[in-house]
């Protein structure tokens, strides 16, 4: 309503001046006001938009633990999911183990031979089933860390989890959210 009244006021003013410069200025100003309406906000994409899980820039993260709040890595923002029920994704997995003894995003010690994983946006801790699509073997594990931050990968498995499903290096997997981990 404020923009409309400002435009009407300017229209009345320029109508009185009746100059070509005034009309050009009015049209330029009107385009500036309207151009803000044409831009789309940034969208957060999810692997399956028809599912119920969501990740939102507008969620109130004030009462979330630090590891479940939005974070930035290499200049890119990540927004942890607030409702991951129904989450299922197929993509590339890798394994990691050289960080032995370092702390996970949750503050716990990383044990390479344990059965755990890192995911960019699932809430921590989450219980997931990871299935190796090459051989059909699967493992239920706890996601307790953030990553992988390499393009094209959806999950990083501990070396112990990778061994259980026969994953050597990179492999195509299916990740299914099972619920919050205890």
Neighbours of 60 (CB within 10 A): 8
Domain count, the chain: 2
Residue 50 counted as domain residue:
no
Output the pLDDT for position 21: 56
Q: Give the pLDDT confidence of 131-170 residue by residue, as tens digits.
A: 999 999 999 999 999 999 999 999 999 999 999 999 999 9
For residue 176, pLDDT over 90 is answered with yes
168 neighbors 133 (Cβ within 8 angstroms): no
For residue 64, pLDDT over 80 is answered with no
Output the pLDDT for position 20: 53
What's this model's pTM, rounded to 2 decimal places?
0.66
Confidence of residue 39 (pLDDT cuts 50, 70, 90): very low
Residue 119 counted as domain residue:
yes
Q: Give the pLDDT confidence of 89-144 residue by residue, as tens digits.
A: 999 999 988 766 689 999 899 999 999 999 999 999 999 999 999 999 999 999 99
Residue 73 counted as domain residue:
no
Question: Do 176 and 96 fall into the same domain?
Answer: yes
The larger pLDDT score, comparing residue 158 to residue 27, is at 158
Average of pLDDT values for 1-19? 45
Residue 126 counted as domain residue:
yes
Q: Which of 2-16, 48-62, 65-79 has the highest mean pLDDT?
A: 65-79
Cα angle 108, 112, 113; round to 5: 115
Q: If you write DSSP's letter for every residue of the chain in order, what string do you get?
A: -HHHHHHHHHHHHHHHH--HHHHHHHHHHHHHHHHHHHPPPPPPP-S-TTSS--B-TTS--TTS-GGGS-EEETTEEE--BS--TT-EEEEEEEEE-TTTT-B-TTSPBP-TTSSEEE-SSSPSSEEEEEEETTT--EEEEEEEE----STTEEEEEEHHHHHHTT--SSEEEEEEEEEE--
CATH number of the structural domain spanning residue 110: 2.40.40.10
Residue 60 counted as domain residue:
no
CA-CA-CA-CA torsion sign (122, 125, 128, 134): positive
In the block, tokens 């409702």 appear at 83
Domain that holds residue 24: 2-38
């Amino acid at each position: 309503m404020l923009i409309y009244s400002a435009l009407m006021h300017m229209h009345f003013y320029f109508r009185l001046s009746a100059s070509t410069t005034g009309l050009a200025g009015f049209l330029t100003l009107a385009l500036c006001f309207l151009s803000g309406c044409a831009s789309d906000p940034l969208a957060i994409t999810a692997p399956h938009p028809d599912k119920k899980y969501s990740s939102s820039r507008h969620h109130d993260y004030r009462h979330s633990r630090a590891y479940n709040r939005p974070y930035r890595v290499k200049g890119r923002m990540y927004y942890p999911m607030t409702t991951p029920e129904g989450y299922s994704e197929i993509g590339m997995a890798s394994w990691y183990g050289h960080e032995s003894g370092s702390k996970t995003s949750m503050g716990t010690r990383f044990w390479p031979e344990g059965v755990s994983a890192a995911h960019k946006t699932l809430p921590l801790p989450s219980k997931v089933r990871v299935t190796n699509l090459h051989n059909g073997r699967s493992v239920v594990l706890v996601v307790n860390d953030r990553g992988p931050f390499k393009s094209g990968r959806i999950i990083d498995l501990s070396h112990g989890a990778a061994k259980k499903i026969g994953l050597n290096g990179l492999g195509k997997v299916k990740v299914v959210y099972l619920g919050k981990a205890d």
